[in-house]
Structure 1
């Protein structure tokens, strides 16, 4: 494996996770906004690593493996933090929808790859919209404080709610694409 800028950006996303967790629980002033900013910056690397990999010919098997792992780790861990810190059940339900979809679609992609049909469930525009809404929503909820008079937590919650809707829609699209293969006999 050759280390390149695209892989370094992905690794930064993984290394940002403990920083976000420590800041999230810290009692220092502005710890939650710092955690939100770190999460947001890490989320931006998700956009950059793919662009860098394609633009500069840095696509690698390791990078293709690591990128979705970094995304799922970051999102799942920080959703657990938000669920733990907000006792309202609808935050739990949204987190369950998002994490459940990630597990379902990952398993679906793995299974489709084993039967040679991985391209039938490749990332779609719906998945990209879902990811964008999700990353902004989580970052704003983690930030928690008001910014320029805006309630960042509630704005983030609204975006995360929209992301949950897109999550269900994109999962439906992936499952619909795979359904004929699921019904086929060996």
Structure 2
């Protein structure tokens, strides 16, 4: 298997996940900065591997599979850490909505790919806006809720925690909307497959 530069960047993003968990729990005053910085670096590699793949035509099947896996793992782990650092019902609810939607949409895309209709559930603009809001929210919250650092609600006059909290709520709402759009796009294919399955049962 030939590992391209984008694939190496994706693998690096996966390797950052245990580093993020370790740093988040270190008993030092700077861990909130470090946690946010690690997540920010992972977000940069996410953008960079896509840019390199497109710019230099370094596409691969393994990279196409691994990239969304790395993204979802990093986001899920960051959400789990944030909920542990700030265990409120609302924070847990936003996290559950985002993780649950990612699981559901991944399953939907896999099924649509099996029937040759994956193009119908391609990433839409609202999904990109959701991703941006989500990344900003996670950066702010990782900085704010580290369990072993003093309260870091304010940074240079900016209410970091409250901004992250609201951005996560917005990301969760956009997550539901984009998930509904994916389902609506896939619904005709789902109906056709269900109809074909029933006809097959009748013939048998």
TM-score by length of 1: 0.96
Residue pairs, 1:129-148, within 5 angstroms: 129-144=129-144, 145=152, 146-148=154-156
Partners of 1:132 and 1:11 in 2: CA distance: 22
**Count of aligned residue pairs for this structure pair:** 186
User: Is this contact kept in 2: 1:120–1:177, CA < 8 A?
Assistant: yes
**Equivalent residue, structure 1, for 2:93:** 93
Aligned equivalent of 1:150, options 155, 158, 161: 158
Partners of 2:133 and 2:2 in 1: CA distance: 32
**Equivalent residue, structure 1, for 2:191:** 183
User: Is this contact kept in 2: 1:40–1:136, CA < 8 A?
Assistant: no
Partners of 1:41 and 1:82 in 2: CA distance: 18
Residue pairs, 1:9-88, within 5 angstroms: 9-88=9-88
| Range with bigger deviation, 122-131 or 110-119 | 122-131
Q: Give CA-to-partner distance per residue, 1:12-57, whole Å, 9 cap, x none.
A: 2111111111111111121112101110111121111111101111
**Equivalent residue, structure 1, for 2:201:** none
Unaligned ranges ≥5, structure 1: none
Q: Give CA-to-partner distance per residue, 1:119-164, whole Å, 9 cap, x none.
A: 1001111111111111111111001123212122221111111111
TM-score by length of 2: 0.88
Partners of 2:28 and 2:4 in 1: CA distance: 35
- Where 1:22 maps in the other structure, the secondary structure is helix
Give 4+ residue runs of structure 1 displaced > 6 Å after superposition: none
Give the superposed CA RMSD.
1.0
**Higher Cα Rg, which structure:** 2
